[in-house]
Amino acid sequence: MPKTQNKTVMQWLYIFAFVVAFLVVFGGFVRLTRSGLSIVEWNPISGAMPPIGQQAWEEEFAKYQQTPEYLLINTGMTLGEYKFIFYMEWIHRNIARLAGLFYAFPVFYFLFRKIIPFKEFGIYFWMGILFISQALAGWIMVASGLDKRPAVSHFNLTIHLLLALTLFGLALWTAFGHKYGFPDSSKKAAWSLPSKLSVASLVVLIIQITYGGFTAGLKAGHVSDTWPLMLGKLIPPNLFASWINLFESPQTIVFIHRWFAWLGMILVPVVFYIVKKQNYPADIQNGLKWLIGVVALQITLGVLTILSYVNIVIALIHQANAIVLLGLAIYFIHRFRALDAK
C-alpha cells in the first residue's frame, strides 16, 4: 500500500478514473446501437486508423457481411449504414487506446522522477494489469458474438464490465489515499459498524451491477415493459425452477435486477442513521444524504428504463449513475476506515 501523498498524482488518478468511467458508458452506447460487432478483427496498432478509400471500406464491409449479425439481423444494410456502426466501435476502441496512453505515460514519468517511489509501484502495476485484462476481455466478448449467433456472451460482457469497474475503483481508492492519506498497514484498526455496513452496501452494488451486465448481455430488459408487475404478475411462475436460471434465464435475471436494488435503499439510510446518532463529521452526514438521493435516482432510472422499453438515453444515464454510486461507495468506505484508524 502506498504511503507517499502527491497532489499531481491524485489529480491524474481522478482524471484517469473519469476516463475509464466514460469508456464504460460509451461502451454501453455502442452496445445499445448494436455497433459492437461491426469490427471483426482486433488490431491494437493498425486498427487505430479507419479504412481509407472506397476499396478499403468495401473490404471491411465484406468481412462484416460474413458475420451472424449481418446474415441474421442486418441483411441488406448499406455501406453508408455500416460506416455509422463501424465508427461507433472504432471511436470506442480509440478512446480505450488513449486511456491506455493516459495511464502509461504519466505512471512511468512519475516513477522515473521518483514522484511514485518504486517500492510503492505495486498498486499502479495492478492498474496496468487490470487495463490490459479488460481490453483482452473486451475482444473475447466481441469474438463471442462473431460465431454462430449475433450476440455476445453475457458472461464475457459482464467480466469485461467488472474488470473495467475494478480498475475505476482502484484508481479512485488510490486517489482518495493521496487526498486523505493512506491507511497504515502496520496498524489493524477495528471495523466500525458504518464501515461494515458500507462494505455490505458495496457488495450489494457489485451483485446488482453483475446482474445489470447479465441483463444487458441477454437483452433481458426487453422481457417486460411493465413495473411493478412483470409478465402480468408480481412474481412470475418458475423463475427459480432451477439454479441455472440464476445465470441463464432472462426472466429470472431481470427479476433479480429489478428487486435486489431495494436492499441498497434499505442499507444506506441505516448507515446514515448510525452515523448521525454517533455524531460523525458533518461532511460525511451530508454526503450520505446525497447518497440516499443517488440510490433513489438509480432505482427511478431503472424503472423508467423498463417502462420506456430500454430507451437509449435513459439506459445510459442509468448506467452512468451506477458508476457514480460505485464511486460514492468507495469514497465512504475509505473515509470510514480512515476514521476507524484514528
Domain ranges of the chain: 1-182, 187-342
DSSP 3-state of 241: coil
Report which of 179, 188, 194, 176 is spatially closest to residue 279, judged by C-alpha positions.
194
CA distance 92 to 35: 10
Q: Are 56 and 24 in contact (CB under 8 A)?
A: no
For the chain, first and last CA: distance in Å? 18
The pLDDT tens digits for 280-329 are 999 899 999 999 999 999 999 999 999 999 999 999 999 999 999 999 99
In this prediction, residue 284 carries a pLDDT of 93
Average pLDDT (332-336) is 94
What DSSP string runs through 9-41?
A: HHHHHHHHHHHHHHHHHHHHHHHHTT-TTS---
Q: What contacts 73, CB < 8 A, 6 or more positions away?
A: 34, 150
In the beta sheet, which residues pair with residue 34? none
Give me the chain's average pLDDT, please.
Answer: 95
- 113 or 186: which leads in pLDDT: 113
- Give the per-residue pLDDT at 209: 97
How far apart CA 214 and CA 232 sit, in angstroms, is: 22
In the structure, what pLDDT confidence band is assigned to residue 1 with cuts at 50, 70 and 90? confident
Residue 241 vs residues 236, 237, 249: alpha-carbon distances, Å: 11, 9, 10
| Residue pLDDT, tens place only, 220-256 | 999 999 999 999 999 999 999 999 999 999 999 999 9
Read off the pLDDT band of 91 (50, 70, 90).
very high
How many CB atoms neighbour CB 233 within 10 A?
Answer: 11
The H or E element containing residue 104 is helix 79-112
Q: Angle 79-112/54-64 helices, nearest 10 degrees?
A: 90
